[in-house]
Amino acid sequence: MDNRNEIREFLASRRAKLTPEQAGLPDFGGVRRVPGLRREEVSLLAGMSVEYYTRVERGSLAGVSDSVLEAIARALKLNEAEREHLFNLARGAGPATRRRRQPAQSIHPSVQRILDGMTGIPAFVQSGRLDILAINELGRALYSAAFEDPARPVNFARFAFLNPRSEELYPDWNLAADTSVAMLHTEAGRNPFDKGLTDLIGELSTRSEEFRKRWAQHNVRLHLHGTKTFRHPVVGDLEVHFDALELPAAPGLTMIAYTAEPGSPSEDGLRLLASWAATIKEAHEDRQDPAHRDRTDDDVHGGRIRQPGRDPHA
């Protein structure tokens, strides 16, 4: 990643989003040649010279003190994710960045056992570049469309922008797409010399205009908790709460679990999804077992669960 260019584009995009009124400055009217604040206004708010702020915005963050970064963050009214991104960009501008430890891209078998023990909720481990490195049975059932692609590891951003089925799974596809790009931008600030991340961004930029448009906005976000909605082809609409937990023993990796409100239709939907996943697994095991060659997976028709007592051919 070009750190200087990222600094320049990020700060300019944050400045363009902030009006004088929002910043608490008087607006004397007239035609403004740039959207949002001028550099002179940011420097005034941050308590530094125009020349110094201009040099910073042009990409010279190496050696800038934390107090200066805090002043810029306050002047631009950066949120928590944006402030962290600014500090990461400053660290990335330092000479020791290339020697920083790269994020882990594998997990210990015990983590998979933890996931497998979470039978009632979808759960998985993802990397900063949105690779799915481990997932439990219910999580795989929820993201079954993504796992149809034989490429491994499955990647959430690649699924969102390069697989048409993502628009079926995500009722609000634009929100899912925006979130994926913002998370990749956040990771690019943390690890600007991660070749795998650079390659992924290059691939998506080449193959998806929607990705390019969003990448140019330079939005970032922390994805720690919130609500997600799905429209699963088997069980229909689901609304779940997600919580993300960093894995201290595997830097850069995060375990994410989805839970539904107790007694809600979504909780019933997850139970139905678990039943479907178990049926699919049983049918697959039967096909692999020579002693059960005469059995079929007639209980699963077109992605639907056979209801007890019903004739599957009715």
Mean pLDDT to the nearest integer, 84-93: 93
Q: Which residue has the higher pLDDT, 95 or 202?
A: 202
Q: Which residue has the higher pLDDT, 159 or 24?
A: 159
Q: Which fold has domain 3-99?
A: 434 Repressor (Amino-terminal Domain) (1.10.260)
pLDDT in tens, 92-107: 887 655 555 566 677 8
Could you tell me the pLDDT band of residue 301, with boundaries at 50, 70 and 90?
very low
For residue 302, pLDDT beyond 60: no
Mean pLDDT to the nearest integer, 105-117: 91
Task: Please state the domain extents for the chain.
Answer: 3-99, 109-269
Mean pLDDT to the nearest integer, 247-263: 94
Q: Which fold has domain 109-269?
A: Beta-Lactamase (3.30.450)
For residue 294, pLDDT beyond 90: no
- DSSP labels, the chain: --HHHHHHHHHHHHHHH--HHHHT-----S--SSSS--HHHHHHHHTS-HHHHHHHHTT--TT--HHHHHHHHHHTT--HHHHHHHHHHHHHTSTTGGGSPPPP----HHHHHHHHH-TTS-EEEE-TT-BEEEE-HHHHHHTHHHHTS--SS-BHHHHHHH-TTHHHH-SSHHHHHHHHHHHHHHHHHH-TT-HHHHHHHHHHHHH-HHHHHHHTTT-----SEEEEEEEETTTEEEEEEEEEEE-TTSTT-EEEEEE--TTSHHHHHHHHHHHHHHHHHHHHHHHH-GGGTT---TTEETTEEPPTT--TT-
